[in-house]
Amino acid sequence: MHRLFVSDIHLSDETPDIEAALVALLKYESPFDSLVMLGDIFEAWVGDDDDSPLAERIRLALRALADSGTEILFCRGNRDFMLGEQFASDVGGTLLPDQTVLDVAGQPTLLLHGDTLCTDDVDYQQFRELVHSPEWQAEMMTKPLDERRELARQLRSMSIDAASNKPEDIMDVNQNAVSTAMRDADVSVMVHGHTHRPNRHQCDTGERIVLGDWNARVGWLLRERDSQLSLERLSIG
């Protein structure tokens, strides 16, 4: 099995170098068996009817990968929480639930974006509960695309302002939340993104592997090959 895990790519019109790096990865790493994208593929996603040029380019790139025989799995992040089944169908992929257990390198492994582990950030958890509710999302989808895009810009600006006033530690995972999630899933390995703090941690319940974010200089991936895992840094730009 040759599988790649990525998260927190944060694609937008303002990040052409990151988009180019992702497309190059998909093209030049191929063939590989599986691509797992653990949230925040996009900086914002306002619905699967998004018809922007960026959305169309990414749909085509992922569809080409799926058509070549590569499995594509993805989950929602805190930026692209409105990704849905239509996008999955468009790209030939599978939308995962918020938490999924998958055999990785011979070990049952808990996969998730990671924002649900940041339980010390109470304000964010309340916001998350709101925007993940079917009622809120259904109401959002009644609005025209341009209105949704403007709302996404406003929410992003509010998020940046809020984060600037929060202590760093509450935006990281809560260790009790990590242990509870791993025990509940009956696993000794967890892989997540969200915190932008790439590392491999040993904890009381096993190993926690954190994927890094992609920016103008570097990107990150976790590679599974021949039952071995390696956390790798990619040069961008």
pLDDT of the residue at 161 = 72
What is the rounded CA–CA span in Å between residue 44 and residue 152?
A: 7
Count of structural domains within the chain: 1
CB-count burial class (<10 Å; 0-12, 13-18, 19+) for 220: buried
At 158 the pLDDT is 79
Q: DSSP for 16-75?
A: HHHHHHHHHHHHHS-S-SEEEEES-SBS----TT---HHHHHHHHHHHHHHHTT-EEEEE
Beta bridge partners of 228: 225
H helices present in the chain, as ranges: 16-28, 53-67, 85-91, 122-131, 134-141, 145-164, 175-185
Q: Could you read off the pLDDT tens digit of each residue along the chain, which spans 237 residues?
A: 999 999 999 999 999 999 999 999 998 887 899 999 999 999 999 999 999 999 999 999 999 999 999 999 999 999 999 999 999 999 999 999 999 999 999 999 999 999 999 999 999 999 999 999 999 999 999 999 999 999 988 888 877 777 766 777 778 999 999 999 999 999 999 999 999 999 999 999 999 999 999 999 999 999 999 999 999 999 986
Which CATH number do you get for residue 147? 3.60.21.10
Q: Could you give the maximum distance between any two Cα atoms of the chain, in Å?
A: 48
Q: Is the CB of residue 54 less than 8 Å from the CB of residue 16? A: no
> What is the reported pLDDT for 121?
93
Instruction: Give pLDDT, residue 164.
Output: 67
Provide the pLDDT for residue 35.
97
CA atoms of 53 and 13, how far apart (whole Å): 9
Domain with 50, as residue range(s), is 2-235
Alpha-carbon dihedral sign for residues 221, 226, 227, 228: negative
Count other Cβ atoms within 10 Å, centred on residue 155: 14
pTM of the model: 0.94
Partner residues linked to 37 by β-bridges: 6, 74
What contacts 153, CB < 8 A, 6 or more positions away? 44
